[in-house]
């Protein structure tokens, strides 16, 4: 079991903690009987303990550093309470209590996970089967999404910080401990404190911790579990800056025997450039969930639950391929109905002039065609050359909503997603101004993220494109936020 994670600071910012050297002896904590150490590291010791009243075995992490003032102790407890809000998640290690010892050292009482860490599992079993890693990844990404939603970062995801409880469930441990102990210092985490093989490249440049960094670390962990090796060979300690930079920018090799969509999910989350990386843990969760077999769900009646059932009914990769999910088409119920119309109807001038699933509307030439209630799940972007998304009911859970669309020029099928977004046909309509113009009265889409989704559904000879949007934070609202004219 890992020691308490933390970060070191420059001498000028190390104002509220003082490093001390202690022997791994159990401190006195009211209500607990501490036994010997379970593990020890640079910042503290993990002890096995017994809760006296409940007769329950727990783990206690005691930091070596001393909190100097009452204000610092209050801050620590406030941050610990914030991290404890995640304890109800089935894939986060439960935090039972926190406090400060008589000599000023902070401690956290948490769930004892008897199955060791995934680092132990990897050492014992070697690389794990892809379906097992997919299942773990989806559950851990969900835990990470919940943490990010309430403003908590992990900052040190790696196999050693994912524990296995007595029932075999994987759980993120040390959630936010670096932030708890260093939340009020003024500088960012130093390079000496990171786990270099799982840290995002931007962290080496002293960038502030971010959700994108957490996602990179989780993807690096899943890649390691699936291959037995790390995604990038980081020279550490680094012998030269040039060598380190080259290693951090090196492309990640796809996993040879993994499904293409699994590789796409991990490689997008492992992009060295954070601006091109998967930045939402919910998207990574949804992509991994889409690779898992259907699970029967109880009957429910609400629109939200119905949408959840649609989103959860993702099928295994062979079924997705058979359904055309990874092929050249995306088919919604409206598009299916359109494709079933008599051939003469589809060949009319009006049908040829408007992309399938869209309508001509005011200022179509300037702002693109109108789109009626088109919603999609998480995007799958394979090497910026193949962008797909599953159509979903706008009345249920979904990730993206279409607000306009347009035909693409000849040769667009050979363009990357980045090039398409920069083309004149797209650049002028996939904008915040057009999105605002298409927003329904009473809805607020200010600050929404915008992306693109090329498609050939219903138009095998000509490529067209949707402009998609979603809130910068939180879930998209039920129903489309955009009007049709």
pLDDT over 90 percentage in the chain: 32
71, 165: one domain? no
Residue 205: per-residue pLDDT: 78
Confidence of residue 164 (pLDDT cuts 50, 70, 90): very high
406 within some domain: yes
Q: Is residue 3 predicted with pLDDT exceeding 70?
A: no
Confidence of residue 8 (pLDDT cuts 50, 70, 90): very low
Domain boundary (230, 260, 289) is at 289
Query: What's the chain look like in SS3?
Result: CCCCCCCCCCHHHCCCEECCCCCCCCCCCCCEEEEEEEEECCCEEEEEEEECCCCEEEEEEEECCEECCHHHHHHHHHHHHHHHCCCCCCCECCEEEEEECCCCCEEEEEECCCCCEHHHHHHHHCCCCHHHHHHHHHHHHHHHHHHHHCCCCCCCCCHHHEEECCCCCEEECCCCHHHHHHCCCCCCCCHHHCCCCCCCHHHHHCCCCCHHHHHHHHHHHHHHHHHCCCCCCCCCCCCCHHHHHHHHHCCCCCCCCCCHHHHHHHHHHCCCCHHHCCCCHHHHHHHHHCCCCCCCCCCCCCHHHHHHHHHHCCCCHHHHHHCCCCCCCCCCHHHHHHHCCCHHHHCCHHHHHCCCCEECCCCHHHHCEEECCCEECCCEEECCCEEECCEECCCCCCCEEEEEEEECCCCHHHCCHHHHHHCHHHHCCCCHHHHHHHECCCCCCCCCEEEEEEECCCCCCCCEEEEEEECCCCCCCCCCCECCC
Residue 170: per-residue pLDDT: 95
378, 433: one domain? yes
324, 246: one domain? no
Kindly report, residue by residue over 394-428, the tens digit of the pLDDT: 888 888 999 999 998 887 877 878 888 888 889 89
336, 239: one domain? no
485 within some domain: no
**Angle at the Cα of 252 (from 246 to 253), degrees rounded to 5?**
130
Confidence of residue 382 (pLDDT cuts 50, 70, 90): low
70, 123: one domain? no
Q: Which residues are catalytic?
A: 155
199, 259: one domain? yes
pLDDT over 70 percentage in the chain: 75
Residue 329: per-residue pLDDT: 32
Residue 292: per-residue pLDDT: 60
1 within some domain: no
343, 268: one domain? no
Domain boundary (78, 96, 111) is at 111
274, 356: one domain? no
Rounded to an integer, the average pLDDT of 7-34 is 56
Confidence of residue 468 (pLDDT cuts 50, 70, 90): very high
3 within some domain: no
Number of domains in the chain: 3
481 within some domain: no
CATH code assigned at 254: 1.10.510.10
CATH code assigned at 65: 3.30.200.20
79, 224: one domain? no
171 within some domain: yes
**CA 401 – CA 372 distance, rounded (Å):** 10
Kindly report, residue by residue over 311-360, the tens digit of the pLDDT: 333 323 333 333 333 333 333 334 444 444 443 333 333 345 889 888 88
296 within some domain: no
345 within some domain: yes
275, 251: one domain? yes
Rounded to an integer, the average pLDDT of 135-142 is 95
Residue 41: per-residue pLDDT: 65
The range of the structural domain enclosing residue 170 comes to 118-177+191-289
Phi, psi of 387 (to 5 degrees): -115, 120
329, 380: one domain? yes
Q: Is 61 annotated as a binding residue?
A: yes
Residue 127: per-residue pLDDT: 94
160, 252: one domain? yes
pTM, two decimals, is 0.56
Domain boundary (242, 263, 289) is at 289
**CA 206 – CA 13 distance, rounded (Å):** 15
Asked if 427 and 414 touch (Cβ cutoff 8 Å), the reply is no
**Which of residues 164 and 250 earns the better pLDDT score?**
164
Residue 5 CB coordination number (10 Å) = 29
Residue 415: per-residue pLDDT: 81
């Amino acid at each position: 079991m890992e020691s308490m994670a933390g970060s070191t600071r420059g001498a000028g910012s190390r104002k509220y903690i003082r490093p001390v050297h202690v022997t791994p002896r159990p401190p006195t904590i009211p209500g607990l009987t501490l036994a010997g150490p379970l593990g020890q590291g640079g910042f503290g010791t993990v002890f096995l303990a017994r809760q006296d009243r409940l007769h329950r075995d727990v783990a206690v992490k005691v930091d070596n550093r001393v909190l100097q003032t009452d204000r610092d102790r209050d801050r620590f407890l406030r941050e610990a309470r914030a991290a404890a809000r995640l304890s109800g998640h089935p894939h986060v290690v439960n935090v039972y209590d926190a406090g400060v010892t008589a000599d000023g050292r902070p401690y956290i009482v948490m769930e004892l996970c008897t199955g060791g860490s995934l680092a132990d599992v990897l050492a014992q079993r070697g690389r794990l089967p892809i379906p097992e890693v997919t299942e773990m990844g989806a559950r851990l990404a969900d835990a990470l999404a919940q943490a990010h939603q309430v403003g908590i970062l992990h900052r040190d995801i790696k196999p050693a910080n994912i524990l296995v409880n007595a029932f075999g469930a994987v759980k993120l441990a040390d959630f936010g401990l670096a932030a708890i102990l260093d939340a009020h210092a003024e500088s960012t985490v130093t390079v000496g404190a990171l786990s270099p093989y799982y840290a995002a490249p931007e962290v080496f440049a002293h960038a502030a911790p971010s959700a994108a960094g957490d996602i990179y670390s989780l993807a690096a962990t899943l890649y390691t579990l699936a291959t037995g090796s790390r995604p990038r060979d980081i020279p550490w300690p680094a012998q030269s800056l040039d060598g380190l930079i080259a290693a951090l920018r090196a492309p990640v090799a796809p996993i040879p025997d993994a499904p293409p969509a699994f590789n796409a999910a991990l490689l997008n989350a492992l992009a060295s450039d954070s601006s091109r990386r998967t930045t939402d843990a919910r998207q990574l969760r949804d992509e991994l969930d889409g690779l898992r077999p259907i699970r029967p769900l109880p009957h429910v009646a609400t629109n939200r639950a119905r949408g959840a059932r649609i989103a959860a009914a993702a099928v295994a990769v062979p079924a997705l391929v058979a359904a055309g999910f990874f092929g050249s088409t995306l088919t919604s119920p409206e598009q299916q109905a359109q494709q079933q119309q008599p051939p003469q109807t589809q060949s009319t001038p009006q049908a040829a002039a408007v992309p399938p699933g869209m309508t001509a509307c005011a200022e179509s030439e300037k702002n693109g065609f109108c789109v009626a209630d088109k919603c999609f799940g998480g995007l799958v972007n394979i090497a910026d050359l193949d962008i797909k998304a599953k159509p979903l009911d706008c009345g249920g859970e979904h990730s993206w909503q279409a607000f306009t669309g347009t035909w693409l020029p000849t040769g667009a099928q050979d363009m990357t997603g980045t090039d398409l977004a920069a083309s004149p046909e797209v650049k002028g309509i996939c904008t915040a101004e057009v999105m605002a113009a298409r927003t329904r009265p009473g809805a607020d889409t200010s600050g929404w993220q915008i992306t693109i989704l090329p498609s050939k559904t219903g138009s095998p000879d000509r490529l067209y494109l949707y402009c998609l949007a979603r809130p910068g934070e939180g879930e998209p609202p039920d129903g489309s936020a955009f009007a049709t004219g």
